[in-house]
A and B are shown apart, each in its own frame.
Chain A
């Protein structure tokens, strides 16, 4: 293995020959894949009834990959132009991304319903395009009218494979948005907690494009390898951390219908993916051939294995109460509003909710449990040797997991995607005139509340990080084995006895429910009051909000 020398650092990484090669490769691959997609489509159209799913998968996969290849070729060829366009159109592109993700998640839910309805009318093999057109126009003999195009667009949606590909695209897009927004938000929160402003320059309003700029910067950074490290494992590690963080979202229900796969074992699937992600960190630490990285990785493994136990015990409480592992079923059981949330059902679920939240902090390496990347002790822990895109992948994984566990806490204990308002209040408006239905839709909408709750707990994680000091490793282990573990065992045992002895609707159950609901409500009101106080006094607390012009700007 060659030693990295000063000449290597000065030599440009990519020459013109590299660029031309990449350009040619991407163009050829893109055209070939698009041709393959057309071919697949032709096969699917001609060979009715034979290999529909495979053919459609071919069309979608090959078409998407081909388009991506051509896009890459375009970016390589017209790099300067693309850069200028990105700079001038940053805001529209960003907003377009947000809208695109929402549309990608929302439109299919509506379309799938329609497609499934049509499919139910034609039992047996796959529904043909003509049958779709007939169903859309209501005319059995309609031939190639304007509805034919719509039918053509609907046709692939009847196959599970197409839906899966769309779901994967949506998940990746959503996770990217969460990570970019989360990083910006964390920096803003950190700034405000330290009486400063945080990023203010990039993009205009409060530096909203900071993460975008950072992402572009990271992509351009030099990709450093350490002499003497295991290159293959060093490359592999970010993906081992990133892929499980993505797979989490396959089972995460944004609403009863908005879930990529409503798995029967959804809850423990997410739990499993959280556990597998640790291997990436462990691998990164090992492959970096660096003592700091290694120590960080060992701490992470130690911490994760230990905290899986209280986490698992805390998960057992809702599982036992509701008797299911299906996340949508757990959500449905808490549909009645604030007082029906599982955390307020009895004292033991309340304890379990708190323990769950603390344990997820540890499993996401968040402060006060951020020992694996303790910057004052270990440089940057397992991230020390990483740079550029690989480093960014670790961060994507971390923020995706943060949002996922926050959302999981809301699914398990805090009413999932249901509004905190009691369902009975809105029942009359659900069938009223259009404006009433619109208000009801916003106030009781599943995905909106789900994302709001997810980001609320996300914010609590940030808040804790910038408030609490980091604790020592032995204190981490003490907190796990001697505090959280006995607490969860008490919660599990108590919950068992409660379910066995206290009938739902008994005076004790109602009284405890009321008290716990009041505690929860008071907490939320107190937090809102703190936030409001901070907002009203922001000039005094943060200092002047004015941004000085850049030197020379």
Chain B
């Protein structure tokens, strides 16, 4: 039987939520619509993260990661960090995830081959992660966080972010660019086809 609607369901919801969440700054603090949007997006985010954990097919995992990344971007929108939300979509969903899917396609020859973990591993991981989650939530709910200054970040975030990147955070910014250069060279070196060397009979296929 067809179960197509199951997969279709979150997408219109996401569309509506993104429209709803796109300008977080305009709405007042205690807005029930915003709370509904938060719970909707949070459900999508955690749901796809769980899907990531459950899925055995690596491409399905990547698609679940897309759900999580999009959900986190919407959460950024909800927290009026619009610039970060968009950067998350460009770099993560539009760049990193495509690289990951590309990597999957380059490294799995047989279609739908599944590498399953041993049951004991799953059990141990479940126990550890469950314990960690319970502990973290217990701590988080009991901690009394310092209250926010009124309003929080609002319009003009992009200019402020740019200003602080080029003043206070100039050194990390430059370091990040050096890192990116190193990564570019390193990735190009690592991924180049093996050079034919003299007397190398047992080299990798090429």
Contact = CB atoms under 8 A, between A and B. Distances in A.
Whether both chains belong to one complex is answered with yes
Interface stretch (B94-102, B122-130, B175-183, B187-195): B94-102
B26 A233 contact: no
B66 A240 contact: yes
Given A275-B93, A286-B101, A304-B98, A264 B19 contact: no
Nearest to A390: B4
A282 interface: yes
Nearest to A168: B19
A243 interface: yes
B16 interface: yes
B14 A298 contact: no
Interface stretch (B79-87, B135-143, B165-173): B79-87
A394 to B, nearest CB: 15
Interface stretch (A159-167, A193-201, A345-353, A354-362): A159-167
B19 A164 contact: yes
Contact of A271 (B60, B70, B90): B90
B149 interface: no
A162 to B, nearest CB: 11
A235 B7 contact: yes
Contacts of B93: 272, 275-276, 279
B59 A283 contact: yes
A318 to B, nearest CB: 15
A272 B33 contact: no
Contacts of A250: 18-19, 22
Contacts of B98: 275, 278-279, 282, 301, 304-305
A77 to B, nearest CB: 21
Nearest to B8: A239
Contacts of A269: 86, 89
B17 to A, nearest CB: 10
Contacts of A268: 83, 86-87, 90
Interface stretch (A51-59, A102-110, A442-450): A51-59
A228 interface: yes
Given A161-B33, A301-B101, A235 B4 contact: yes
B101 A279 contact: yes
A247 interface: yes
A275 B89 contact: yes
A228 B23 CA distance: 43
B15 A230 contact: no
A477 interface: no
B105 interface: yes
Interface in A226-255: 228, 230, 232-233, 235-236, 239-240, 243, 246-247, 250
Contacts of B11: 239, 243
A232 B60 contact: yes
11 contacts: A57-B36, A168-B16, A230-B60, A240-B66, A243-B14, A250-B19, A250-B22, A268-B86, A272-B93, A273-B89, A279-B97
What 9 pairs between A and B have smallest CB-CB spacing?
A: A275-B94, A272-B89, A53-B33, A272-B90, A164-B19, A261-B22, A54-B32, A265-B86, A276-B93
